[in-house]
Amino acid sequence: MDAVDELLVEFLEAQRVRVFEVLAGLSDEQLGRSVLPSGWAPMGLVEHLGHAERHWFQEVMLGAADPLPWEDDGSGPLSTTRSPEVVFGFYREQIARANGVLASTSLSAAPIGRHGVGTEPAELRVIVLHLVEETARHLGHLDAARELIDGAVGLGQDDW
């Protein structure tokens, strides 16, 4: 992996770490509370990020994904009835699986599967870039939710 590709992967990892930093210290009740008009709760958004990692790195890049550890609970998008322990564990597991793909696959490798909506990524590098954007975008949502929940700001800042 060249220096630019390493930096791209480092940016993805930095966004993932910030998700945990922004939510650290909140109670289970706070993590499950919806505070924005859209109705999602922080845990629902973290579960969504886990699904995004699973979809892009397993379903799209590898062409198949391991079954989910649960059946659909009908809670809807960006919502979940699962505990923070289960949701954070799911997100960590999906990150670990994605990191396995990144460690064993060239960023110029073409995906085996398909996203099925819009433009298909030509290579793993595009998937990584998309996940940087997806995670950073939702991290902004989590920042806003955290401020509304307990007033905390400036969590998960980078070193730049």
CATH classification at residue 122? 1.20.120.450
What is the pTM for the complete model shown? Answer: 0.93
Find the mean pLDDT for residues 91-120: 95
Q: Residue 137's domain spans which residues?
A: 3-150
Find the mean pLDDT for residues 5-15: 96
The domain tally of the chain equals 1
pLDDT at 118: 82
pLDDT at 154: 82
91 token code pair: 């997100």
141 token code pair: 């949502």
In a domain, residue 155? The reply is no
- The answer, yes or no, to whether residue 114 has pLDDT greater than 80, is yes
Find the mean pLDDT for residues 98-117: 96
In a domain, residue 17? The reply is yes
Greatest Cα pair distance in the chain: 44
Q: Are 47 and 75 in contact (CB under 8 A)?
A: no
In a domain, residue 156? The reply is no
In a domain, residue 93? The reply is yes
User: Residues of 40-52 as b/e, b for ≥16 C-beta within 10 angstroms?
Assistant: bbbbbbbbbbbbb
Percent of the chain whose predicted confidence (pLDDT) is above 70: 95
Is the model more confident about 90 or about 38?
Answer: 90
In a domain, residue 14? The reply is yes
pLDDT at 69: 84
In a domain, residue 158? The reply is no
